[in-house]
Amino acid sequence: MKITFLEMLGIFFKDYRHSYGIAPIIVGIVIVSMLWDESDAHHFQLLLNQNSVCQGEVVSVEDVSFNNEEGEFINQKHYDFQYKVAEKTYTKETILEDRDYSKGQTIEVEYLTKDPSIATIANEKHVHVNMSTILFAAMLILLGFGIILWLLKEAIQKISIIHNGKLGTGKLVSSEISYESNHHTTHELKFRYEVEGKDYICKIKTREPEVLEDEEFEWLIYDQHHPARSVLVDTLPPTIRKRFEAEAQTFPTN
């Protein structure tokens, strides 16, 4: 059976577990967008690229003190500094903790060689953003993409089975609760089917077991080259199910 691109997407999104991958990606992006600004991006570029050093001068100093979320007293200083590269003067701002530069003091400035407008005071740690929080957000995003890739692999296998498989029937042999979370109960159902005299088990996890327990036998499609791979017809998107019902008589059966 040939399936369209939209039906392929339907196979992926019909699996409720796709939300487990999308959710951490969204949370991670929100965290990064709240904390990450242009200054952070510039400092990240300085870490990854070839830099140059020149002399600069502190032109203003502002003390900023506050208590963080843990109640710790934090003292920061906001510095504006100027430097000149190729006869062009630049003014930049940075935030440092436990430093004591004074207005008019000569400093070393580290700037991006290919773009001198990106710079910081040399050998100083930029503290505008909590890097541990950024790393946590990055891990969430990577975790989300990992889950999605894993589910995509399963979806691709289903597509292959639908495209090249044979029709058969499976009998429900067990139904049990797999796990419960967020007010949802997930059931694992097992269906036994036979191919060339050998028994195989089709496992399916669902939050709607009643849809698959309403009949003694359920239609399924199995991979004729790897009979252990199979998919229940009732778990497929509606458009594919309707097409299957219209073409069911043309399918070879086991």
Residue 73 belongs to a domain with what CATH number?
A: 2.40.50
pTM of the entire predicted model: 0.49
Asked if the structure places residue 136 within a domain, the reply is no
The predicted pLDDT at position 130 comes to: 59
- For the chain, how many structural domains are there in total? 2
Domain assignment of residue 78, given as a range: 49-128
Q: List strand residue ranges (DSSP E) for 6-164, in order.
A: 51-67, 73-85, 88-97, 106-112, 115-121
pLDDT in tens for each of the 254 residues of the chain?
Answer: 566 667 677 777 766 566 777 888 888 888 777 766 555 556 666 666 678 899 999 999 988 877 777 777 777 788 899 999 999 999 988 887 667 889 999 999 989 888 898 888 887 755 455 567 778 888 999 998 998 888 888 888 888 888 777 888 889 898 888 777 767 788 888 999 999 889 999 988 888 777 777 777 888 889 888 899 998 888 887 777 777 666 656 555 45
Strand order in the sheet with 73-85: 88-97, 73-85, 51-67, 106-112, 115-121
pLDDT for res 36: 60
Distance CA(125)–CA(245), nearest Å, equals: 65
Residue 167: closest CA among 216, 222, 241, 239: 222
Q: How far is CA 20 from CA 24, 106, 143, 145, 219, in A?
A: 7, 53, 9, 10, 28
CB neighbours of residue 196 within 10 Å: 6
Cα(126)–Cα(77) distance, rounded to whole angstroms? 11
| 214 inside domain | yes
pLDDT for the residue numbered 153: 85
pLDDT in the model for residue 248:
59
Among 128, 156, 186, the domain boundary falls at: 128
